[in-house]
Structure 1
């Protein structure tokens, strides 16, 4: 079979209120053996994070991709991107002109995987539970605009919002809004371990070693009723320690599909391989970003001048060229270039990298040089290239003579608790959006209860610009407020955006559906996979 590299454009259009009816389907089966998908995501239940798969806690792309297969939401993002559409709901929409009252009618006949009927009270329980638990992951903030949840009969749920929120349909498509059975989930505490019960397209059986889930087995849910056409009977996600081991498994036929995170070298090799190779590479438009975040209360970076000097020195083009090649692009704002509302605020503020300008910033603030600090990064969550990336950042900052930078890596299950406790002054993170709207690249970092637990706060952003931007269903109309937020970030530098990346899926050539197995938000859509004929 000839190699095919398929590029899907990102579709990040206007957000409009949704009030539509969608019929369900249950037509797919696929048959045959389980399709095995490899990932380098690690799934751990630790003392600091004992409930990784509870929708009220989970807030990273890996665990969300487990939940999206198993826990149903009222709304869902369509496979080709665009505005969310009803899923567990038959219809949803704003019922007022101010985008402050949102009503959903449930699809008839909904059941949990155990056969229990789903009612509006179950939806209310699930949403209210996540809001009340307020897990330290910060995921509850996605529901922060909700004031009260009302039910009418068994099939109608009404959300009364504190303020206008045109992005609310998107938020109802995220796992934190997943519908769970009150018989399986305690109202006041998280569900520990790797058990998940919902009404999604699959049920989950977890295989574990110690405190890690090594294999997630998804079996088609016979009680599922929604909009998804499930094209297979069983899919497994197998967790690997690194990209090389995952690649070897694909080469050996032990897995059928390889997803995040492949190394740049693997992607290049798959792109350049001979046409008679039995593996295919698919390039998918992505909205992943990487950035440096600051604990702005830490003494070494408390001075804004230090953060501004770093922003003035970092050469994104060189960073991308040296580490990621054509697989990423420099990013000059938290909002990616393909998303409505993007502005190149950091380039507009700092221009090209300049040691002289950085020196002036530090001298004006009376900061002694070289500034000694540590850049912290995770060794196992964003791929093997992360270490190279931080070595490049270290070199750029130290070559200026203005900084004395060391770098330190830690495994994700160590890194995240330390970050949330404020132990790092400067640290590297990635962001896979909850939904493809500029609001989701700004509010999670800058709003109250932000998921980084950042001490940085700007009243104009939190009290005026974010609320005003959410009033606009036409996202082009929100651009002025969104640009103002990005300009403030470039001036205050609580975060330095670095690059935005593409997504890749590799598969054996008898696997179909890989063009849609990932959307632009890095959501795995395992129901799209099936076995075809190799050749």
Structure 2
């Protein structure tokens, strides 16, 4: 594979959803040569995070983008987006008018890597296992509406749901429902380490340094039976400590594609001064960033405190000064590019207003300055996260109403601490599990939510979310989502900050780049190759 020269600045890095870098020191694509992808995602096994690649535990973009290549799901989102289509299944459908019973027929000839044939009992085992393990760190919340799983034959599986859920086909396209080999996975406990055994388009092996993966190698599964068309035989995903190191790897020819997480500086320089042999591709993005509050903690339990924070945060300054063209202010949990978005926070709070923040605190009898720590992760979303939180700190402290400290922690420790409830206020990012407004609402506000947050609003979790899921025509749920967004703006259990764009930088002999990352941040390495894309 030919190599190109690119000089990138050492810049603080952010955003970009998880991207794949591609390229190969030996060549590319369907010819059998390797395509090498760079990422700043870190895959680490620790006491708090022992099973990074177990679908019952994994719930971050980086880990899911490893599992997508190695585990099959019954459904998948097709190239270009739209409603899910069968993958390991040959067909799936709701078998009732209430969207409470979902039936799938498996493809013929499905096999695990060890050669064992896949049956509906294996599908039931894989999904029931996630429910039974019930890991707080995982995505089990997506499956909590399953009542029972029936396997009337070796090729047929039926999911009986507790309540109607038109989004269920989307949930069956996520790695938490990946089909795993029962010979390699215990039905009642997590599988520690980095091994993955499934029937996906690739076999994956990990090169490990201590407790950390430095390289994940995806080799074409010649026994794969499914809907995906592979354009290469082998892809390597190499992990780098930061955007600058990843940029140097592209410059030296060590990788052919980088994205997650490119720095704002890299993106701006490459946009202003294109480099020969390297193409920068901008793609639609559905990533959001937000602050979350432990509403049981005394310092922020009074919603007036959270409302005052909402009155002071200047999203425009964060977007322009920290992230430049890679981010836009966000005034709702649902991003502007998703149907049902409203500017609920702007409608309630308008532009930053110290006087309004002071009034809210005074009316509630809250003593000032209010003291707490803003916690963020140092290595999961890019280096620019630190600058973002320094900016937030200045914004909150400027008027004397708050006395805020900031503290950064590496992701392998941050996420377990956040799940335990160790943080009063903290920053997180979100790529949707699937592109529906429900997935920007339920993970934060439903029972057994992703954040393990104490905030409960019975109207939201008990009525509005179930009502929205009963609408097979998703636009019909817009009224419910609008009401939810207004409630979030009033109670502020979470505070949306910005919405990001996606960028990929790749050598110009790499094809399929425009398909390799979809708007949900899903890495699809089978789309990468050399030569013309099809």
> Normalising by the residue count of structure 2, what TM-score does the alignment of the two structures yield?
0.94
How big is the shift at 1:532?
A: 2.7
Is the aligned partner of 1:254 residue 2:251? no
In the alignment, which residue of structure 2 is the partner of 1:438?
437
Question: Partner residue of 1:300?
Answer: 299
* Kept after mapping to 1: 8 A contact 2:29/2:530: no
Hey, what does 2:242 align to over in structure 1? 242
1:41 aligned to 2:41?
yes
What TM-score comes out, normalization by structure 1 length? 0.93
Deviations 1:87-135 (A, max 9, x none): 0000001111110010001111111122211111110111111111101
Question: Which residues of 2 match residues 136-147 of structure 1 at below 5 A?
Answer: 136-147=136-147
2: CA distance, partners of 1:284 / 1:31: 27
- Structure 2 CA distance for aligned equivalents of residues 444 and 383 of structure 1: 23
Preserved CA contact (<8 Å) 2:111 2:117? yes
Q: Distance in 2 between matches of 1:400 and 1:113?
A: 61
Please provide the CA RMSD for this pair. 1.4
Aligned 8 A contact 1:138 1:450 in 2: no
Unaligned runs of 5+ in 2: 7-27
Q: Which residue of structure 1 aligns with residue 390 of structure 2?
A: 391
In structure 2, distance between residues paired with 1:290 and 1:269: 24
1:341·1:475 contact (CA, 8 Å) conserved in 2?
no
Which sections of structure 1, spanning at least 5 residues, go unmatched? 4-27
CA distance in 2 between partners of 1:148 and 1:479 (Å): 30
Deviation of the 1:507 alpha carbon: 0.8
Q: Hey, what does 2:516 align to over in structure 1? A: 517
Q: Give the corresponding residue for 1:21.
A: none
SS in 1 for 2:454: coil
Contact 1:370 1:403 (C-alpha < 8 Å) held by counterparts: yes
Distance (Å, rounded) in 2 between the aligned partners of 1:354 and 1:82: 41
Residue equivalent to 2:9: none
Aligned to 1:179: 179
Alpha-carbon separation, structure 1, partners of 2:442 and 2:244: 36
Q: Any idea what the Cα deviations from partners look like across 1:372-392, whole Å, max 9, x if unmatched? A: 111111010001110111111
Q: Deviations over 1:351-380 (max 9, x none)?
A: 111000000000000111111111111010
**In 2, distance between residues paired with 1:138 and 1:74?**
19
Contact 1:201-1:230 within 8 A present in 2 as well: yes
Q: Which stretch has the larger CA shift, 305-314 or 276-285?
A: 276-285
Match of 1:405 in 2: 404
Which whole-Å CA distance do the structure 2 matches of 1:387 and 1:132 have between them?
37
C-alpha deviation, 1:398, in angstroms: 1.0
Quote how far apart the aligned CAs of 1:444 are: 0.4
Q: CA deviation at 1:32?
A: 4.2
Q: Distance in 1 between matches of 2:475 and 2:32?
A: 47
User: Post-superposition, which runs of at least 4 consecutive aligned residues in structure 1 deviate over 2 A?
Assistant: none
Kindly tell me the number of residue pairs found equivalent between the two proteins: 508
What's the CA shift for 1:71?
0.2
Q: Distance in 2 between matches of 1:29 and 1:148?
A: 42
What does 1:3-152 align with in structure 2 at a 5 Å threshold? 30-152=30-152
Partner of 2:499: 500
Shift of 1:435: 0.3
Quote the offset at 1:463 in angstroms. 0.7
